[in-house]
Chains A and B, each alone.
Chain A
């Protein structure tokens, strides 16, 4: 049997070791899985070459899980993470709750970040200090198959009406190829596909006074156009997500994709995966009443307000977003940069022929509303968009009901 002193010693030792274990890392980063995780892994490896003694813990989590963990941890002020990767739609919630450190308290942010991407790192948006830095320059692009357009005498679509004409022409003349493809799965996918069209038609989700306006005449017109496009989409579009959209493009089963993300684009020109090498034109989405309104999907990284290693976190963040690191990540992994100089770098443009168009799309990019409840608003809108798509409601009824529910959610 252990003596009392031996037991005390063992307890003290285990507590000390436990505490040491809990605080072992010099920097704890909460990030995403997939390509973002690979990019963070690569950056951590390079950063550690210059800081060999630093112990960096990197968590790579799926989208939903990352959000849940961050909200719970930051709300509890647990100090578990020093650096956190954020989708831009979470930014307002995180910044307004005081969960992120002001990055400009020690001086202005410098560098050639594209203005639209840095604007949404600020709180209030575009005006206040930056609470994060843009890491991934995601923007929804539009793609069409130039070879098929040439075959049927169509030119680059100038607006969404022209998109409908092109989709109708190709699907009528070529039964094996759908005119258009998009993500129809409910929730974030269908909303993301719809927003560039909605904004281009003059739709507004929440007005300046904070009132929802999705059921305006422009909104209804946009949804009717979207539903019209469905006629030229493949069967089962209601459950299409990124994999199905990519497959349809790469297998030459569609002529137009109304939503293409920068991470999908490189595989279109990869002959081992694609039958449309050099055929797809990747451009900013067309306009209609308004000009082109591509949707921004910027991933940002912020230092938490309760960070235990604030200095290390700021230093790593500066390295992660440096032009040099962004160029390497773009060339190695195709991670879209957020700095103008990387988009105009000759090595990068040689590898990604659509980067000048992507830069243009980022400059005209539109962010989703800066409201705390965006997650819920998006889910509501996604539910009703899909009810309209499967024919259970007409466009007007769906948007009226969505507007009523969004109004309730915003008042909560």
Chain B
């Protein structure tokens, strides 16, 4: 046994536990208190207001829009990223000419900073001079209002996220595929399972934990979406790309409405926990 006693284990773990508690429990407790208070940031005064902050949020059209945008973005973007990542992983699980060179190219966007990605895509999305609209025009198609059509803007931001983060899902799933023992693949072939049937009944169940892990990680990350929206659209046009993170940032750091920002953060935490619980439950279920 690595440790002589349970006490020794607890003693060794206590500094890290204490640090973690300070860095997580303290801020969460402050958010809990602030969410039910009016906080005068300058005077550092706090006044208990009960549910007022939540009532104000429930009447706020922009907050409702932010929840809708965050949820739609998270669900759609993470599903698309994992779906594409799975397709790529299946492709790269085989040997083909140029595989060694294609792999770094696919992973490359993940290595760029989000602000750089956003700057690149902002130029590509430009209505008059952007590469995407020029490509459409050369094909005889109409240019698209990528960032200033309220019905299109969220999908345009999503496209950037898919471009940048599909490689992450791809790598997780590829690791899963390559960890399948060769004898299972051989046995399946011997039994006559080929193509789609082998993928559907043998491969997919075996890599399901990796697929769910990729979904969990991507949905948590996409739910927090802030930087791309901040850099590409600022939440507009209208409120079509305003996410919960952006809403909270504005309330907390631009207007210093700490009570309202804390209440919104608490609701965001609750939604994120619920979202994660669905995947975690499926993941545990898949493992068991």
A residues with CB within 8 A of B: 64, 67-68, 71, 75, 97, 185-187, 235-239, 373, 375-376, 379, 383, 386-387, 389-390, 392, 401, 408-409, 412
Contact = CB atoms under 8 A, between A and B. Distances in A.
A239 B236 contact: yes
Given A186-B236, A186-B237, A392 B257 contact: no
Interface in B105-148: 127-128, 145, 147-148
B148 A383 contact: no
A235 B42 contact: no
A97 B42 contact: yes
Nearest to B38: A412
Nearest to A373: B255
Q: Which 9 A-B pairs have the closest CB atoms?
A: A186-B236, A376-B255, A238-B148, A238-B237, A236-B127, A236-B148, A239-B148, A387-B238, A390-B237
A185 B234 contact: yes
Contacts of B256: 71
Interface string B37-79: 0100110100000000000100001100000000000000000
B41 A236 contact: no
B41 A387 contact: no
Given A186-B234, A239-B233, A386-B238, A375 B254 contact: yes
A75 B43 CA distance: 8
A386 B148 contact: no
A189 to B, nearest CB: 9
Contacts of A64: 254
A242 to B, nearest CB: 13
A375 B256 CA distance: 10
Contacts of A408: 56
B73 to A, nearest CB: 18
Contact of B42 (A75, A379, A389): A75
Contacts of B42: 75, 97
Given A373-B255, A383-B239, A412-B38, 7 more contacts: A71-B41, A75-B44, A186-B238, A239-B233, A375-B254, A383-B238, A390-B237
Q: Is the interface of B mostly helix, strand, loop or mixed?
A: loop
B250 A379 contact: yes
Nearest to B143: A235
B176 interface: no
A279 to B, nearest CB: 21
25 contacts: A185-B236, A186-B235, A186-B236, A186-B238, A187-B234, A235-B127, A235-B148, A236-B128, A238-B236, A238-B237, A239-B147, A239-B148, A373-B255, A375-B254, A376-B254, A376-B255, A376-B257, A383-B239, A386-B237, A387-B239, A389-B237, A390-B148, A392-B238, A409-B255, A412-B257
Contacts of A386: 236-238
B96 interface: no
Residue of A186, A235, A239, A408 with highest tally of chain B CB at under 10 A: A239
A180 B132 CA distance: 26
Contacts of A185: 234, 236
A409 B148 CA distance: 28
A376 to B, nearest CB: 4
B255 to A, nearest CB: 4
Contacts of A390: 148, 150, 237-238
B253 interface: yes
Interface in B215-273: 233-239, 250, 253-257
A207 B239 CA distance: 28
A236 B145 contact: yes
Of the listed residues B61, B234, B253, the one surrounded by the most CB atoms of chain A closer than 10 A to its CB is B234
Contacts of A379: 250, 254-255
B157 to A, nearest CB: 12
Contacts of A387: 238-239
A75 B41 contact: yes
Nearest to B62: A383
Contacts of A375: 254-255
Nearest to B240: A390
Contacts of B38: 412
A138 B129 CA distance: 31
Interface string B131-171: 00000000000000101101000000000000000000000
A118 B23 CA distance: 46
Nearest to B239: A383
A346 to B, nearest CB: 41
Nearest to B147: A239
A386 B256 CA distance: 23
